[in-house]
Chains A and B, each alone.
Chain A
Amino acid sequence: MDGAQLAQQLINGLTLGSLYGLIAIGYTLVYGILRLINFAHGDVLMVGCYMAWFGAVQFGLPWWAALMGSMLLTALLGVLIDQGAYRPLRRAPRISALITAIGVSFFLENLGLVVFGGRPKAFLRPEVFNQIYQWGSVRVLSLSLWTPIITALILAGLLVVIYRTRLGMAMRALSRDLVTVRLMGIDTNRVVAATFAIGSALAAAGGVLWAMKYPQINPLMGVLPGLKAFVAAVLGGIGNVVGAMIGGLLLGLAEILLVAWLPQLAGYRDALAFVLLIGILLFKPTGIMGEELPE
């Protein structure tokens, strides 16, 4: 592989990795606080894409307005799921909440099939993202350059929220010890709701960028990105926002480079994430940036 091709693949990997990272943040926030793998996260992403599609394609909103609207509505959906399905189970064994999350995931997928139909819908790609830049033999879509930039901005904003606001302080406290925080007079349910809102809005953003890259959406589109983003979150150390982003980037680069260097193994691309997952859990269960978790 020559330098130009390598540069091309690195940009592809960076784009894909940013998307995984953006989705992984939602997993990591919720897991950090509730110790719950929010299985439905990928499907929340799918609903976010359909919201944006309705906004942009059906109602003719400009793309940024559709994106904002979709993030808002998806945040609301995240809160609804938490209040309706997870909150009644806060004191139940953790496995019960996980089973419920699996149920919610299948519910969203199948409801999506019934409501939106199985036919894929064509997604839009605004002109800003549809430019092609060429340097020598390297051709890059402007969307591929914008995706890491947008992701970095979102991550910076999120870090400000977590480390510089009262809500962020409450979230960090909650991830240490939920019961004590409740005893200290903090409305834990509001903090959890805020966490779900933030995580779901980020899923919508990641989903819309994903759908712009591969411009079609269908009710099952969230499954694989969701699972892989979870792996990215574990890779980075679950509970850690920066770790989730790093894990996402690593996974994205690993997938693209596997296909680029060993094209005969391209078919195994979707298994790579899980092989990595099994490897990490065996050798370094806390991931790259993770702290020791209490049992």
Chain B
Amino acid sequence: MKRMLLAAACAVLCASLTTPAPAAEPVTLGVVFPMTGPAAVYGQNGVKGLKLAQQARPTVLGRPVQLVVADNKSDKVEASNAANRVIQKNRVQAIIGCLTSSNSLAAAPVAEQAKVPMLSPWATNPLVTQGKKYVFRICFIDPFQGSVAAKFAWANLKAKTAAVMIDISQDYCVGIAGFFERAFSKLGGKVVLKIQYNTGDQDFSAQLGAIAAAKPDIIYVPGYFTEDALIARQARELGLKQPLLSGDAAQAAELIKIGGPAVEGLYLTTHFDEKGVTTKSGKSFVAAYRKAYNEAPDSVSALSYDSYNALLDAMERAKSLAGAKVAAALAQTKDFPGVTGVLTLVQHNAVKPAVILKVQGGQFVYVATVQP
């Protein structure tokens, strides 16, 4: 019995060492998304967007496109493992991903070293593409998002002072909080308190107690939706009445489900809203998405859709799948009519408008579009 088990073990070993390489016929794109873990909401929506994009445009350069989804488990280490795996094992021609900035920062060096173009739909931290030849993004970056939030707080919410709550587990949150502070101070405002928490925390009474004592005009919480929702509830329970302002990571249905009445009136800056759509491709995307999934598309699904098309456009312009040529073509992307707006890549980052939303009546309501 035991010897048989040993033999079976050896067989498994051998089998795993001789995995055959996939046929070279289709164009394979690696999708390194968080399908499990805290950011799974975004990963699943992103894949929905990618599937629509693939249905609408199934071939490139006369070859069928194949998507290989690799789960990065919302984890930095798994992100670099998964990127390695799709490059080495699946031999992908390009990577779409990751979504969160932390994961993208971990995966980007892998793609750069292997000279495989990587296009992130949603990673907004500026360091993701900095100094990289093969790493791009289809979204705006946090200095822009932070300044949009600061201008909105200053001009529309008439705030003179702000408290900032920072999730120090996330590169994105640490980054955008800094850019917000810089922009807000430049306008004449003052950040009276900066306070930290961690992804997964549940009790914010200590932090909110300190904020209550500092009496700011607004509270800036550019975190992820779970923590934002709990923060909003506990803030209202403690009697804090200041407006809450957040970033694109809060745009998820769960924010409203968990936050309930406490998130009413919360503002957030983000990439996309179906009511702010201007382009023709955007209108048809919204219709197709609603038909396929019977819900409103969110930013991540729209940005993933744009990433797919921008990548295929670059491959067609390059007339090649070679990493260097595709990367060069991606860098030239100009006036791309995406569903999230017309965009141009400048130094690997998209320059495009931002959208401001507000939670009202249990829904995200479109407030304004801010041009770059």
Contacts and interface: CB of A to CB of B under 8 A. Distances in A.
Q: Do chains A and B touch in the complex (CB under 8 A)?
A: yes
Interface of A: 5, 12, 16, 113, 117-123, 132, 134, 139, 141, 214-216, 256, 259-260, 263, 266-267
A121 B205 CA distance: 22
16 contacts: A12-B205, A113-B36, A117-B36, A117-B40, A118-B37, A122-B229, A122-B254, A122-B257, A122-B258, A214-B202, A215-B230, A215-B258, A215-B260, A216-B229, A216-B254, A263-B206
Contacts of B257: 121-122
Contact of B206 (A122, A215, A266): A266
Contacts of A5: 209
Interface residues of B, number: 27
B36 A216 contact: no
Contacts of B202: 214
Nearest to B35: A118
Contacts of A215: 230, 233, 258, 260
A120 B226 contact: yes
Contacts of B254: 119-120, 122, 216
B324 interface: no
Given A119-B40, A122-B254, A216-B258, A139 B230 contact: no
A203 to B, nearest CB: 18
Interface of B: 36-38, 40-41, 44, 74, 196, 198, 202-203, 205-207, 209-210, 226, 229-230, 233, 237-239, 254, 257-258, 260
B36 A118 contact: yes
A263 B230 CA distance: 20
A139 B238 contact: yes
A259 B206 contact: yes
Contact of A132 (B44, B209, B237): B237
A216 B226 contact: yes
Contacts, number: 54
A119 B206 contact: no
Contacts of B207: 266
Q: Helix, strand, loop or mixed for chain B's interface?
A: helix
B210 A141 contact: no
Given A118-B37, A122-B258, A139-B238, A260 B206 contact: yes
Q: Which are the 5 A-B pairs with shortest beta-carbon distances?
A: A122-B257, A118-B40, A259-B206, A214-B202, A122-B258
Nearest to B41: A119
Contacts of B37: 118
Contacts of A118: 36-38, 40, 74
Nearest to A220: B200
A67 B81 CA distance: 42
Most A CB atoms within 10 A — which of B44, B196, B203? B203
Nearest to A214: B202
Nearest to B36: A118
A216 B260 CA distance: 11
A139 B240 CA distance: 11
Contacts of A260: 206, 209
Contacts of B209: 5, 260
Nearest to A113: B36
A123 B229 CA distance: 12
B38 A141 contact: no
A214 B230 contact: yes
Given A117-B40, A134-B239, 13 more contacts: A12-B205, A117-B36, A119-B40, A120-B226, A139-B237, A141-B237, A214-B203, A215-B230, A215-B260, A216-B230, A263-B206, A266-B206, A267-B196
A66 B196 CA distance: 36
A121 B206 CA distance: 25
